Each structure stands twice: as structure tokens, then as C-alpha cells.
Amino acid sequence: MTPNVDPVTVGLVGAGPWAATMHGPVLAAGPETRLTAVWARRPEAAAELAATLGTTAASSYEELLDRCEAVAFAVPPDVQAALGIRAAKAGKALLLEKPLALDLDDARRLADAVGNAGVVSQLVLTKRYHPRTRAFLAAARDFPAIGARASYLHGAFLGGPFATGWRMTYGALHDLGPHLLDLADAALGRITDLRACGDPRRWVELTCEHEGGAVSQLSLSGAVGLPSSRAGIELFGRTGAMGLDFATVDHAECWPIVRAEFAAAVRTKTPHPLDIRRGLLLQELLTAAARMTG
């Protein structure tokens, strides 16, 4: 964005670990955005985070909506879906986490609200904003892949700030699945069929067939005792192989790009490639896999 463009005023919903370490500091830092308020279901947490970020806590969700032109969500998916509908109806742009919701009907209702209101939406698939990921996907367009293997494995569900709530109930499928499904779909072509087995709270295997005939195998777990995550995707074809290791992707390098592109989309009213339609596609794939894994 150029210096003479006013920063987009953003309200932050949520005051948990992700809001405190990522959404809040990045949006407050600008210059493309200005954080105008924080609201959370726990007023004391919202007040503490707002003070840290140099802004104010809204006393209600309605007050937060009155103070901003865009809303960033760092809350559980079911809460995001319900509050996102209200924000869209109020004409606010939406910066959304993955997955959109915990069930497909709620995701569709949110997507309908965004479509009917004609507001900008953008999905925080963090790794997709890193230059290395973008270079890999650009190269993948010219790589004649016939298959791929991908994994996202860590031990965060064994203890710590993310071993709670919806992640422990829905497991790696809903938490990590959007990242791998998105990358496989983007690198190999549209996923036309999907099969799944395993337990989302332990280990899940997804087999995807892609438009054009390629097949990918995706492994997901948040319950393995590793000192650090192992995550990446590798494409194979008659000319060799190419891959992306995104376990070492630094989120600090991704978030300024998220912020800048969201602000540009809001100011120009231009749909972002990773908008709610992408989120709904991923939700449909998650739902299909969930039916097979129980």
C-alpha cells in the first residue's frame, strides 16, 4: 500500500494465545492496518491484550463492529462462524481462520452471508503467504506430477496451550487438514475424490485423486512425540521430484504479507485468491473425510 492510503481499521475478536502472539501484534504494527479494538468473551482477557497492543477493549461485539471496517477472528471455528455472519451483515470485511466452522452447514451460512453482503474475505492459511510456498506452487504448475506425499506431524495436542477445546475434539483433521488439503489441491490440481481412514485425535491418512489423474497421500497427526513439527509436501513424476519443507517456515515472515494483502483487498474491494470460497471448498473436503473417520 502507498503511504497516502489510510490504514484499514480492524477489530480483533479473541484474546487467546493465537490472538496475543500473531493476529494482535501484526495488525497493531501496521502500517496497512490500525487495530481499533479487541473484544473477547472474557472481558478481562480482552482488556489485558488491548492494553498490551496499545488499543482499547470493546465492551460488546456490537461496539467492536462500530469501531472498525474489518474484523479479524482468532476464536474457535464455531464461534467464528456465528460472529462472522453478524460482521458480514454489518458490512465488515473478514479476516478468517481455518477451518471456517466446525460443520459444513455453518460454513455455508457464513459463505452465503459474505456473498450476500458483498464484503471482502480472506483466509489465514499462514504458510500460503510465504515466498517459498509461492515459489513452490509456481514451479508445480509446470511439473508433470503423477503423485505426491505430504505430512503434517507434531505433538501439540499432547500438552500446552493448543491441547484444549475444539482441537482435542476434532483433532488433526480440522486443525492441520486445511493446510495439506489446500497445498495438495493447489499443487496437483482440483481434488475430485477423497478417501480417509484413522482417528483424527491420533493419526489420519487421506488419499486424494486430482483432476488430471495425480494421486496424493496426506498424513496428519498432532499426537506424536516429536521435538519439532515435521511438515512438507513432495511431488513425484517421470522427470523426478520436487518438494517443499514448510516445518521451518517462519510465521513472522508470513504475517506481514497477510496484513498487506488483506488491506489491499479491502481498499480495492478485490477478492483475494484465498477468500471464503477457498475456505468453503476445504470445509467440504474436511466434512467428507470426517464422515469416513468418525
Alpha-carbon gap, residue 75 to 19, rounded angstroms = 8
Helix, strand, coil share of the chain (percent; to 5): 45, 25, 30
Three-state DSSP class for 49? Answer: helix
Characterize 74-106 residue by residue with b for buried, 16 or more Cβ atoms within 10 angstroms of its Cβ, and e for exposed: bbbbebbbebbbebbeeebbbbbbbbbbbbbeb
Residue 281 lies in a domain: no
Q: What are phi and psi of 80, to 5 degrees?
A: -55, -45
Domain identity same for 207 and 72: no
Domain identity same for 105 and 37: yes
Q: Show the DSSP H helices in 67-219 as ranges.
A: 77-89, 104-117, 131-140, 165-175, 177-188
Chain mean pLDDT for the chain: 96
Write the pLDDT tens digit of every residue in 81-90: 999 999 999 9
Residue (of 44, 36, 54) closest to 16 by Cα position: 44
Domain identity same for 262 and 202: no
% residues pLDDT > 90 (the chain): 94
**pTM of the full structure:** 0.95
Residue 81 lies in a domain: yes
Residue 263 lies in a domain: yes
Write the pLDDT tens digit of every residue in 129-145: 999 999 999 999 999 99
